[in-house]
A and B are shown apart, each in its own frame.
Chain A
Amino acid sequence: MLEKLGLLPPAAATHAAQVDALYLFLIGLSGFFALLIGLLIIVFAIRFRRRSEHEIPSPIEGSLVLELTWTIIPFCLTMVIFFWSARVFVSLRTPPRNAIEMFVVGKQWMWKVQHLEGRREINELHVPTGQPIKLTLTSEDVIHSFYVPAFRIKQDAVPGRYTDEWFEATRPGTYHLFCAEFCGTWHSRMIGSIVVMEPADYQAWLSGGTGATGAAEGAASVAASGEALFTSLGCATCHRGESGALGPALGGIVGTKVRLQSGESVEVDDGYLRESILNPQAKIVAGFQPVMPTFKGQVSEEDLLQLITYIKTLRASPGAGGAHRES
């Protein structure tokens, strides 16, 4: 209804209803208070207009009861909004475990997307309905922001690190994709479309069937590309997963905690893997020497994402000389 009137954007993901409900609640609340204040002002201004130039109204000092009332009631109302909006936010920030991952790299002025299966897109993103999807974002130059109004999601893509956002599309169709963080000359052209498809259509599209833009050239899966890189960059020489190797074994390492030389421990996640490739000396796993060279400049953001994806697919081999795990 409101969408047809052009007052709400299309709702095409599970979060849209939650965000809209909060929005409409706030509209109602604000409308009530704005009307209350406006009405009181108008009524008072007319009812108590100055009738003679010499009129001196009797002073009213104030009232502690009233002051407390209009301090405490708004405070309680804001707390309701706070907890409600925080719930929505936490849900927006917590991708379900079964979410499939896609990688998005922003650069002036385009969005480059790669599906796990290998399909690449520019300024377009095809997604299936009914499937939670987690986007891992980064940027090659300045800060961008991946904004899909129909999904009510937005997240800055910050150079030098990973951020993420997730959604579960509900309604097939084509929706706007905007860059929401000012990024230079063609900021307003750093736009694209999100194509939501029925799962079957999506599968067909993935395999290059339906006539979507971009042929099936990048058909090798992300993990496969990562494996190729892993080999060509010579990573396997040291991280071969045997005891006595120069570097820690990587099988099954993701998601665990490793102890560092400094005595602290760190959780192995995308960020840590990224740092360890670009800046290997920063956090050395206990029991290893700082001998790894940096790969900064040799790998692009997309290469990095492929490598990390590949490392995530590795499984622990029994008896490997891995890092000292905790938990």
Chain B
Amino acid sequence: MGDATPILEARGLSKRFGAIPASRAVTLDLRAGEIHALIGPNGAGKSTLIKLIAGDLTPDEGSVYLGGLDVTALGTAARAREGLGRTFQISSLIPEASVLQNATLGALGRLGQPYRFFSRALRDRALRRTAEAALATVGLEELHQTRSAELSHGQRRQLEIGVALTLAPKVFLMDEPMAGLSAEGARQLTGILSDLRRTAPILLVEHDMDVVFALADRISVLVAGEIIATGPPDAIRADPAVRSAYLGEATP
């Protein structure tokens, strides 16, 4: 289950859009070695919470800690440099670039080397090693030269995770990685994620309840911007508040 010191921590995050509260004093943490799943019905505020943690939005109140450091004031790019590896709900890759180039981009960000004008990106040993290792982990080593726009949906998901891996992140932040995958694809990705938690803990937003209950070490349930329960899968499954507020109407 991992040790008790949280690597990622959200403390009392609140955000309103006009009069509508999208997050209400959300507190949650992510500990080494675990997969912490965040579930909730549509419109519960999962996307807002992800954006608050990733740095796309600044909270009205509360703070975000990453590895013990307060990153609330940092932007998206700076949080990524601090070790926040993110995948997007809708695959977000560089369409015209090859698989290897996409992974190399991550390595560039991690090594802080985007301002090199004359060396060749794909011939740099350190970059290449990082990129290739990450692609091997997600099973894309055969597809280095393929344009990412030409990948299948599942392969794009894998590449998303591969790019996040190149950052050698302290934590992963994954927004519905299973969305749109075939059963076979989902099974494959579940295996990858299950291993990945040993590299860095994962905050997982996911709709597929089979995946969530199969993978998660802990689950938090978000309803109307509020966390109504946090705990191991069994406890969540048994929680009457969750059952009434959420599971009853969920379509897995």
Q: Do A and B come from one complex?
A: no
Question: Which positions in A face B, CB cutoff 8 Å?
Answer: none
Question: Which positions in B face A, CB cutoff 8 Å?
Answer: none
